[in-house]
Amino acid sequence: MEKVMDESSQGNSLVLEGKETNTKKLFIESYGCQMNFSDSEVVASILTKEGFNTTQKLEEADLVLVNTCSIRDKAEQTVRKRLEKYNAVKKINPKMKVGVLGCMAERLKEKFLDEEKIVDLVVGPDAYKDLPNLIKEVEEGRSAVNVILSKEETYGDISPVRLQSNGVSAYVSITRGCDNMCTFCVVPFTRGRERSRDPQSILEEVQDLANKGFKEITLLGQNVDSYLWYGGGLKKDFEKATEMQKATAVHFSALLETVAKAHPKMRIRFSTSNPQDMTLDVIETMARHKNICKSIHLPVQSGSNRVLKAMNRLHTREQYFELIDNIRRILPECSISQDMIAGFPTETEEDHQDTLSLMRRVKYAFGFMYAYSERPGTMAGRKLEDDVSKETKQRRLAEIISLQRELAALSTQQHLGKTEEVLIEKESKKSDLHWSGRNTQNTTIVFPKENYKVGDFVMVKVEDCTSATLIGTPVGYSDNN
């Protein structure tokens, strides 16, 4: 994977507030998508009630959990290296137990226990509430596994324990699973069918975050635009719903508007969108509310219609352009970011050039770019020969990355001379004299600390930039404080 975006998707251990009466230590580490990080907060909440406080010190942990990603082979190899590290520590501390959570657990299931014998428990994304029982099994000397996928579980009744990282930004999961059977993707198999969370539980979680002083939330799902609540049931079963349920159904645009109206001083973001499901009413809702950030992550994966069809992406190049044109018309200041796969099976040089021309047309601000990695169990893995050479994949990926860097530089240059609102999130990585935050377009801005603090909304005049970061001078508080 290569990314041109000033955000980290590397592993991260959680540091969470615990209870003074808890005596056991939990070390939990997350890899992959934002949903995994959000899920780890749910897991930490469940285990806090079971006597565990979290720790950053692996060596003192009673229980070590790694929340895993299966989207690329490289992600799985990273997790395996971490498991080797955990087991090395376990030899010194034999009472320590090791568990695998998430998508990799769902994909490999009992293989971790029976063949590799490198973990004590294996827990799929829909089985976290069973963790207390599974831990008991392990403590009694038995290996434990639960990878049963659910049609109902959303964890809407769990109040996640939040990161102490900044107390400013938080994720709020609104959907789980995915019904889009893209041929390259394992998510429908590792996270199950798509289901949406009760909007009331979402509003209650956002209110709780507001009460605790959080200033920004991200509504999160594998595909947020297909959020649909009609009193229960899977999205695919909506046709069977009663007329009353259909009439009172809550779609994503309505949820987004409700959250924005309820918390006008709180920034609202959402991720991830699917081009086939993003509707005009979502874009129009974004335009009506200043506090809904003007950035959309809109993965396209390829610029070639032939490859899009082979990927089972239910949109064409032309339909994608139509959506982009509507975004530019309704939200001219909106930034758009992408996911792109280089070297999908059967991809020709002409297909690759279609991808580059699409990128030039859209002018993405950010991007996540990958060489195709065959995933066992996917339709592409079963039906398509991985016939693009590694060298060709890497060369095409390098060209995509190079172009994205050019586009990102053009994007940041457009901010020069403007005064923009920034939410301070943390200290700058490169200077302890500067703050770092993001503007509404999700671009990082660094500026001198002066008397401001984390969580402040500050107006910053942009004076310089790199391809990923804006550099400026604060000119005062915004009216959003």
Instruction: Tell me what pLDDT residue 9 has.
Output: 40
- Over residues 308-320, mean pLDDT: 97
Query: Which residue, chain included where needed, has tokens 């897991």?
Result: 43
pLDDT digits (tens, 9 = 90+) for 106-121: 988 888 877 667 899 9
Instruction: Tell me what pLDDT residue 343 has.
Output: 98
pLDDT higher than threshold 80 for residue 14: no
Torsion (CA) 129, 133, 139, 142 in degrees, nearest 10: -110
- Over residues 308-331, mean pLDDT: 98
pLDDT higher than threshold 70 for residue 233: no
Helix or strand holding residue 475 (H, E): strand 469-477
How far does the chain reach from its first CA to its final CA, in angstroms? 38
CA distances from 259 to 226, 292, 358 (A): 17, 9, 34
Q: What homologous superfamily does CATH list for 419-477?
A: Nucleic acid-binding proteins (2.40.50.140)
For 34, counting Cβ atoms within 10 Å of its Cβ (0-12 exposed, 13-18 middle, 19+ buried), the class is: middle
Per the CB < 8 A criterion, the answer to whether 118 and 87 are in contact is yes
Q: How many CB atoms lie within 10 A of CB 325?
A: 12
* Binding-site positions: 33, 69, 103, 178, 182, 185
* Binding-site positions for [4Fe-4S] cluster: 33, 69, 103, 178, 182, 185
Instruction: Tell me what pLDDT residue 395 has.
Output: 98
Q: pLDDT band at residue 15, thresholds of 50, 70 and 90?
A: very low
Residue 370 CA to residue 301 CA, distance in Å, equals 9
pLDDT digits (tens, 9 = 90+) for 445-463: 999 999 999 999 999 999 9
Residue 300 CA to residue 295 CA, distance in Å, equals 15
Instruction: Tell me what pLDDT residue 345 has.
Output: 98
pLDDT higher than threshold 70 for residue 239: yes
Strand (E) positions, 144-264? 144-146, 169-173, 175-176, 195-196, 216-220, 228-229, 250-251
Q: In which residue ranges of the chain is CATH 3.80.30.20 found?
A: 169-413
Q: pLDDT band at residue 144, thresholds of 50, 70 and 90?
A: very high
pLDDT higher than threshold 90 for residue 99: yes
Q: In which residue ranges of the chain is CATH 2.40.50.140 found?
A: 419-477
CA distances from 139 to 62, 120, 135 (A): 11, 10, 6
pLDDT higher than threshold 70 for residue 57: yes
Average of per-residue pLDDT values in the chain: 91
pLDDT digits (tens, 9 = 90+) for 411-458: 999 999 999 999 999 999 999 999 999 999 999 999 999 999 999 999
pLDDT higher than threshold 50 for residue 263: yes
355 vs 11, more confident: 355
Per the CB < 8 A criterion, the answer to whether 196 and 154 are in contact is yes
Q: pLDDT band at residue 142, thresholds of 50, 70 and 90?
A: confident
Residue 438 CA to residue 459 CA, distance in Å, equals 11
Listed in sequence order, the residues at least 6 apart from 239 whose beta carbon sits closer than 8 Å to its beta carbon are none
What are the φ/ψ torsions at residue 100 (nearest 5 degrees)?
-110, 130
CA distances from 93 to 12, 62, 90, 98 (A): 22, 9, 5, 11
Torsion (CA) 291, 297, 303, 309 in degrees, nearest 10: -110
pLDDT digits (tens, 9 = 90+) for 149-172: 988 889 998 888 774 557 899 999
Residue 293 CA to residue 439 CA, distance in Å, equals 8
Decide which of 3.80.30.20, 1.10.472.10, 3.40.718.10, 3.40.50.1370 is the CATH code for 169-413. 3.80.30.20
Q: pLDDT band at residue 246, thresholds of 50, 70 and 90?
A: confident
pTM: 0.89
Instruction: Report the CATH number of the 2-146 domain.
Output: 3.40.50.2300
Q: Which long-range contacts (CB under 8 A, 24 or more apart) does 106-115 make?
A: 106/70, 106/147, 106/149, 106/189, 106/190, 106/191, 107/70, 107/186, 107/189, 107/190, 107/376, 107/377, 109/145, 109/147, 110/145, 113/143, 113/145
